[in-house]
Amino acid sequence: MRIRLEQLNSDELDYLYKLRKARTLATLELMTEKLERDAANSEEEASICRAFDVRETEIEQGRYV
């Protein structure tokens, strides 16, 4: 089951807004990898992953592209 926008906390929303710069799945993956490398801990990595899931769905549906 995919994560929905309404389920994100404020940190996850911050990452989602950054990831909305990505217009393609390839770009989204590159941006996400960079964010994960720079993450300070596993909690941040989890937030990035949740934001990635939402943005991936948006791109697949043609939203915010």
The per-residue pLDDT for range 26-52, each reduced to its tens digit, is 999 999 999 999 999 999 999 999 999
> Does any domain span residue 21?
yes
> Does any domain span residue 48?
yes
pLDDT at 42 (0 to 100):
96
pLDDT at 3 (0 to 100):
87
The span from the CA of 42 to the CA of 59, in Å, is 25
For residue 1, is pLDDT > 90?
no
Amino acid at 25: L
> Does any domain span residue 45?
yes
The span from the CA of 22 to the CA of 40, in Å, is 22
Amino acid at 31: M
15-19, 47-51, 56-60, 61-65: which range is least confident on average? 61-65
> Does any domain span residue 65?
no
- Other C-beta atoms closer than 10 Å to the C-beta of 40 total 7
- pLDDT confidence tier of residue 8, bands split at 50, 70 and 90: very high
In the chain, how many domains are there?
1
> Does any domain span residue 29?
yes
> Does any domain span residue 52?
yes
pLDDT at 65 (0 to 100):
84
State the residue range of the domain holding 36: 5-60
Q: Which stretches within 1-65 are classed as H helix?
A: 10-19, 25-38, 42-60
> Does any domain span residue 33?
yes
